[in-house]
Chain A
Amino acid sequence: MISKKVTMVGAFAVGKTSLVRRFVESIFSEKYHTTIGVKIDKKQVQVDQEMVQLMIWDIEGVDVFTELNTTYLRGASGMLLVIDGTRENTVDAAQKILDTVTNSMPETPVVLVVNKCDLKSQWALTNGQLSRLNIAEENIFYTSAKTGECVEEAFSRLAELTLGSAIME
């Protein structure tokens, strides 16, 4: 079975860990537990006829005190870039991460996840803000770790892309 390393990156408190828990364990907790460092989870995904084991690196979110440790991204076949639909600032953080990654790993496929879509009343993003990130529409997912909406789809898409990159390699 093919194994692929994928990374979860984004600003702090956007829901990276919640998305992983929802995807791997089908669990959601309302309480925000900050991540320190890295936690690695595994889950098998079927892409077409092939099983892919995703090694999901849940990386501590960036804030004014914590920068993204790019050594954690080494060898990743894909990246799930997470923003919080209710917080504009998280788009800026995502933009910075993208700038870093496109410089050091330009070929790494990126799936953009706009999380917390269950909080429509607090929605703060516009399509214009997202288009700045220059990510193809088919690679953007509006998810809710709380309800599970589109979580599987986002990870499945990332798995497909990692396989695509593997074929390209």
Chain B
Amino acid sequence: MAAENIKSLKHNLALVEQGALLSNLFLRLDIAIFEYDNGVFCALSSLPDWFDNLYCQQMAAGSGLANDGYHLEEAFPFIENFLFDAKKIWQKNTDDEIKSGIWTETPDPLNELNLEAIAMRCGERSLLLIVNETKHFDIRRKVFQRARDLALSNERLESSLYLHQRQLHLQIEDLYQKNQSFDEIQNNIQDESTAILICKQDGSVELFNKALIDIYAISKDQTPPQKSLLKKWSEEAEKQYPEIRRILATGQHWEGEFETEDDHQRKKWVRMMIAPMKSDDDSLEHFVCIANDISNIKLSEREIERLIQLDPNTHLPNRRYFWNQLNELVALNKKTGTCLGLIYLDIDHFKQVNNELGPEKGDQLLKTVANRLRQSLKKDDFVAHLGGDEFAVIIDNVDDEYMMSEIAMRIQENIARDVVFDDLTMNVTLSMGIAMYPKHGIKPHILVKNADYAMYHAKELGRNQYRITSPELHQKVKHKIQIEQGLKTALEKNEFRLLYQPQISLGSKGEFRMEALIRWHHPEHGTVSPADFISVAEESGLIIDIGRWVIETACEEAEKLNKAGYNAKVSVNVSAKQFQNGQLVSEVEHALNNYRIDAEQIELEVTESLFLHNLENIQKQLNELKDLGVTIALDDFGTGFSSLSYLKKLPIDILKIDRSFISELPDNQHSRTIVESVISMSHQLGIKVIAEGIEEQTQLDYLKELDCDYVQGFLFHAPMSSQDLIQLYQSIAPIKNKASRTKKLSNS
């Protein structure tokens, strides 16, 4: 009883520690987190001071921190408004989230808090996070301030140009109407800083001023301009204003901005007004063309665009800029028939850095990676920060995949240097995926998807590497993602089942024992092999839930067999993640109690890789399991590092010789030696041995000679359903009196 209390206390302490850790993490990230339940918000962790102060200030005195939770919608009208959208997310049973956008609170006249709310669904819980963005807000505001300042001054400049052109037009029209000669008009406009040209409807020049010569860099020997500028302009403007020819042909007024070329083929932007000059009888005689060089305004517009499209932390182009650039370059390469290379990059283990060292160090790391990426690339290569820890590089006009590989290697080399923070040094690596236009996709989004798949594959293969996409890889990764998605709901949808493969006792004292083997029936892909999904489940952490289900189901099966009169032992495979999770012992105990079976009816199979993790902790858990009464089997022995010291140190009852050695028996001398030694050594240590993968009678005969304890394989039985297993037992050892529970299953 005392032991149980201590265990329960430890379990509670572990939960408290986890809670404290999370609470600390949220405080460091400056996040107030709440669960929304029945119209009330409950804080899920300690709340940052700024929140407490603000909340108390907003609520009427005394009703601040009410016992019945927080009334955020009363305290913050912004949240009240956001709840409308948040509730839609909470009602959906998906992982979606929605952000409110930034809002500002002023706790006192000198300070501002810039906050953002995020609503999300987490399992069955409706969460609301209030994130304090004040630290990052200043950079963002500066970018927008600069962009809007520039936009404002451009707008003013454009307005004044527009006004000036109109005034000039009126002035020239007035002179023209008064029948002034072109010489007199020329005198009036000669020193005007705005370019003016008067021409006939066919474009032949009547007069022009000095500013026109300046804009168009017309040389002295070409003045007056011989070729028809009117025709040139209408052709240039036509790209943006297809209606211009019609307008001029019908003698109407036109205004607009377009890109033009001067006599030295230099590109410029002009704002031009072309107005008809008519005779008294309203027939068109001339056009007056009034133009200003607005290249500088256009340049600063680009600067605004650039500012808005830069990531404020890394100063690299952001996702929006990336998509614009990719679309543009793909269109360009399509025209020229050339290739383009895209690299998708992701910092390995960034999430861990961000969580453990805090967002400031995370930002610092992103900046360092951004700088190193810039250094690894040529000036014309395009690199963007897509958000989080993702970057992208576009290499225009590449020859082949080999060239992209070289660039990826250069990046890898340049990135893989230590990053030094104040008090610690860490090594950074990237995983990269490469896709080529047009080989791997002619549409930008397909190209991105393929590069992303390749990057995902690089991560799969152990990170710190690059992979070039291919149709096979695409399929493989897509399949894996589908498996990953499917696994999330497979338990809920009852898609797993256990099959049982009997293990046969070769000794005189036989018993009923079997290995439980999991199978997944995917609604679309049919039966998925454990080899295809167990590693995915381990990576995603779903193995914890799946493992718990396996233990429960195996215990249920043992109970069922008990009721049928067979006292059988069920062996269950357990993952290292289940040990790391720390709940395995209590889960096994719970299942044993739940189905009221003897602990010795359950055997847990572990692999050698388990001992690579915190051995002391593993040893402790194994001993606790042994204390419960379950037995421990070491699976796949011989395939790993097969350290004999573990056999001595750890409470192993059974050792399973891997099928790869058995399959070569009895002909292969090497395998024979290993199998003989393992069986002999195990027996000396008091450990029993199971040989798995028996398919031939000669293998069985040989193992009998060596006094192997148990055998398992297709020579005897394939894995079978629970129903078939009971039928098998009944055919071999019929139960007449169900009280008799100890029956033998022997191959004799």
Question: What residues of chain A have their CB less than 8 Å away from a CB belonging to chain B?
Answer: 5, 12-13, 32-34, 36-40, 55, 63-65, 69, 71-72, 74-75, 87-89, 124
Chain A residues positioned under 8 Å from B285 (CB to CB): none
Chain A residues positioned under 8 Å from B149 (CB to CB): 32
The residue in A36, A55, A71, A74 that gathers the most chain B C-beta atoms within 10 A of its C-beta is A36
Pair A13/B144 contact, Cβ less than 8 Å: no
Is B102 an interface position by the 8 A CB rule? Answer: yes
- Report B469 CB to chain A, min CB distance, Å: 33
- Report A32 CB to chain B, min CB distance, Å: 7
Pair A5/B77 contact, Cβ less than 8 Å: yes
Is B159 an interface position by the 8 A CB rule? Answer: yes
Chain B residues positioned under 8 Å from A75 (CB to CB): 81
Is B308 an interface position by the 8 A CB rule? Answer: yes
Pair B159/A63 contact, Cβ less than 8 Å: no
9 more contacts with CB within 8 A, not counting A38-B78, A87-B159, are: A34-B141, A36-B144, A37-B103, A37-B114, A38-B103, A40-B77, A55-B77, A69-B101, A88-B159
Query: How far does the alpha carbon of A88 sit from the alpha carbon of B104 in the complex, in Å?
Result: 30
Is B739 an interface position by the 8 A CB rule? Answer: no
- Report A94 CB to chain B, min CB distance, Å: 15
Is B137 an interface position by the 8 A CB rule? Answer: yes
List the 7 shortest-distance A-B pairs measured between CB atoms, nearest first: A37-B102, A39-B104, A38-B103, A65-B308, A34-B145, A34-B148, A12-B148
Query: How far does the alpha carbon of A115 sit from the alpha carbon of B81 in the complex, in Å?
Result: 28
Quick one: CB contact mask for B96-114 with A, threshold 8 Å, 1 for yes? 0000011110100000001
Is B85 an interface position by the 8 A CB rule? Answer: yes
B142 (CB) vs chain A CBs: closest residue: A34
- Total number of A-B contacts with CB less than 8 angstroms? 60
Chain B residues positioned under 8 Å from A39 (CB to CB): 103-104, 106
Query: How far does the alpha carbon of A34 sit from the alpha carbon of B151 in the complex, in Å?
Result: 12
- Report B509 CB to chain A, min CB distance, Å: 74
Chain B residues positioned under 8 Å from A69 (CB to CB): 101
12 pairs of residues in contact across A and B, judged by CB atoms under 8 Å: A5-B77, A13-B148, A32-B149, A36-B104, A37-B101, A37-B102, A38-B104, A39-B103, A39-B106, A40-B77, A74-B81, A74-B84
Query: How far does the alpha carbon of A89 sit from the alpha carbon of B154 in the complex, in Å?
Result: 12
Chain B residues positioned under 8 Å from A38 (CB to CB): 78, 101-104
Query: How far does the alpha carbon of A12 sit from the alpha carbon of B154 in the complex, in Å?
Result: 13
With A55-B77, A71-B81, A71-B85 already in contact, the answer to whether A36 and B147 are too (CB < 8 A) is: no
Is B140 an interface position by the 8 A CB rule? Answer: yes
Chain A residues positioned under 8 Å from B104 (CB to CB): 36-39
Q: From the candidates A5, A33, A40, A87, name the one contacting B145 in the complex (CB within 8 A).
A: A33
Query: How far does the alpha carbon of A75 sit from the alpha carbon of B144 in the complex, in Å?
Result: 28
Query: How far does the alpha carbon of A32 sit from the alpha carbon of B146 in the complex, in Å?
Result: 11
Pair A124/B159 contact, Cβ less than 8 Å: yes
Chain A residues positioned under 8 Å from B148 (CB to CB): 12-13, 32, 34, 63
- Report A22 CB to chain B, min CB distance, Å: 16
- Report A156 CB to chain B, min CB distance, Å: 21
Q: From the candidates A32, A40, A124, name the one contacting B103 in the complex (CB within 8 A).
A: A40
With A55-B77, A75-B81 already in contact, the answer to whether A36 and B102 are too (CB < 8 A) is: yes
Query: How far does the alpha carbon of A71 sit from the alpha carbon of B137 in the complex, in Å?
Result: 22
Quick one: CB contact mask for B72-96 with A, threshold 8 Å, 1 for yes? 0000011001101100000000000
- Contacting A at CB under 8 A, from B307-334, are 308
Is B152 an interface position by the 8 A CB rule? Answer: yes
B147 (CB) vs chain A CBs: closest residue: A65
A75 (CB) vs chain B CBs: closest residue: B81
- Report B344 CB to chain A, min CB distance, Å: 26
Chain A residues positioned under 8 Å from B101 (CB to CB): 37-38, 69, 72
Chain A residues positioned under 8 Å from B147 (CB to CB): 65
Query: How far does the alpha carbon of A12 sit from the alpha carbon of B103 in the complex, in Å?
Result: 17
